[in-house]
Amino acid sequence: MSDKKATLTVGDQSWEFPIKSGSIGPDVIDIGSLYKETGMFTYDPGFTSTASCESEITYIDGEKGVLLYRGYPIEQLAEHGDFLETCYLLLYGHLPTPEEKKDFDTRVTRHTMVHEQMSKFYTGYRRDSHPMAVMVGIVGALSAFYHDSTDIADPHQRMVASLRMIAKMPTMAAMAYKYSIGQPFVYPRNDLSYAANFLHMCFSVPAEPYEVNPVLARAMDRIFILHADHEQNASTSTVRLAGSSGANPFGCIAAGIACLWGPAHGGANEAALNMLHQIGTVDRVAEFVAKAKDKNDPFRLMGFGHRVYKNYDPRARIMQQTCHEVLNELGHGDDPTLQVAMELEKIALSDEYFIEKKLYPNIDFYSGITLRALGFPAEMFTVLFAVARSVGWIAQWKEMVEDPSQRIGRPRQLFAGAPMRDYVEMDDR
């Protein structure tokens, strides 16, 4: 705790508020008593200058292009670890020993199946339903099946709920995909890794054997690692806000999925791919780059730049490498959409306009291309994001529940509507 104070002066009155310092990052002014002392609120649309909680999980330095999970750079985790190791790190705060990793992998693997009755839920949706609509309902329904892990006051139940969430999300996501294309559900296999098992459930069919390509499985695993958590973003804040009321963890994660669905958040990679479809062919790339530079043209390049990262998105470097590995493995050189993407990437990394404005290709640009190459339709992109982000959501939810200073969320407002007025009877109007 810092001894520094911040002074607020309004007219001839002044008040002091404590300044708190984290282990790294900017200091924060504790305004918890602001309204009580001054009778005023702060006004911060989008909460861009407001710290809503104290957390030890993820740190971002947007100016330097740094992303840390529990202090570890994302580049190191993606290069040397796997997704379940990252899950363990986010949940427990430290990297596992070999024995801890083996035990954790086993516990997650033993929870991958879902209650058989849940398979009937999918038939209640139209075949052409967006998979995210399905996921919001299916994940929320988990609370109706797993009553033994909804008591948020019980540490054991919190951990069981966390394991179930991580384990069952790939199964439910694969079922949503299979249902949308009219194929039978594929059960999980305990002999496969987390990412390989997910690809198996999505792309295998009962009629023939399916061998998971290790290059593609590694790419899927990296995508999961890179999307596992991202500090207090919109969906994570939604999960925390829902959880602050004491809601069960499955309901909180369903709320996070609903928020993630938005095109400004989890739907960004789908939007980036739609933009590539709009450009169409390589010979039109220069035309659309010119449109992007024109302030009077409504066209905007999707998948470039980032609200948080004012430097290069550290996840994009890894995703770029992974994207090229997948394309080299699958030989998608004749795909016009991917050709457009590669030409756009080349221009963005060399054009002075993009370099000056730091409009580098971000993770959404590369992940959209990679997921398309893996065989997923654009509608599934945000679902895969939700699979990966589940561990971040549940870790943040768990931290929030265990924080004694946390209270139910209650943002305030600057009211701009009509002041108090008298009701006028119908006949007198």
* Catalytic residue IDs: 306, 364
3-state helix, strand, coil in the chain (%, to 5): 55, 5, 40
* 226 touches 382 (CB < 8 A): no
**What are the structure tokens assigned to 339, written together?**
């050709």
Judging by beta carbons within 10 Å of its beta carbon (0-12, 13-18, 19+), is residue 7 exposed, middle or buried? Answer: exposed
What backbone torsions phi and psi does residue 237 show, to the nearest 5 degrees? -65, -35
Torsion angle defined by CA atoms of residues 242, 245, 247 and 249, in that order, rounded to the nearest 10 degrees: 60
Q: What DSSP state is assigned to residue 409? A: -
User: What does each C-alpha distance from 382 to 260, 271, 356, 378 come to in angstroms?
Assistant: 7, 10, 30, 8
| Amino acid (one-letter) located at 411 | P
Calculate the CA 382 to chain-centre distance: 9
66-69 vs 58-61, strand pairing mode: antiparallel
Q: Quote the DSSP letter at residue 420.
A: -
Distance CA 75, CA 257 (A): 26
The single-letter DSSP state of residue 131 is H
Q: At what angle do helices 363-374 and 336-348 cross, to 10 degrees?
A: 160
Spatial strand order in the sheet of 66-69: 58-61, 66-69, 72-73
Per DSSP bridges, beta strands 28-29 and 13-20 are antiparallel
